[in-house]
Amino acid sequence: MSTTNTSGRRKTAVARIYLNDGTGNIIVNKKEYKEYFPTLPLQYIVNQSLEVSGNAGKFDITVNVAGGGVKGQAEAVRLAIAKAIVELDPEAKPGLRAKGLVTRDDRMVERKKPGRKKARKKFQFSKR
């Protein structure tokens, strides 16, 4: 099998993955994924696409991820893995779609507006 590469995005995080046949190693920015994502919920998010599709332990994955925070990065990795699995095996798409793993979550931080404190918050109004 040749290398499959896809990308996933979430908020401002962008993950580019390279998926090969292998034993289940996941390397994120030249570190083991358990070292890069130290908490169990983040590790679960990264593995979710593989487990739902039944491909856990079948692929070696190399990830380059940048931008955003750790949760956004983990979710970007999850989307990229799901897209790569669908590219290899289109039969896995309905199962991944049912869990919402193939859909890009396009919610972003709203920009700050001029004349305001934040995106929607206004400066305090003083009557006198």
Q: Report pLDDT for 2.
A: 84
- Mind listing the pLDDT tens digit for each residue in 21-59? 999 999 999 999 999 999 999 999 999 999 999 998 899
Alpha carbons 67 and 59: distance in angstroms, whole number: 25
Average pLDDT, integer, range 106-128: 94
Alpha carbons 11 and 107: distance in angstroms, whole number: 6
**59-66, strands of its sheet edge to edge:** 4-10, 13-21, 59-66, 26-28, 31-32
Mean pLDDT of the chain: 94
For the cut 80, the answer to whether the pLDDT of residue 1 exceeds it is no
CATH numbers and ranges of domains, the chain: 4-99 (3.30.230.10)
Percent of the chain topping pLDDT 70:
99
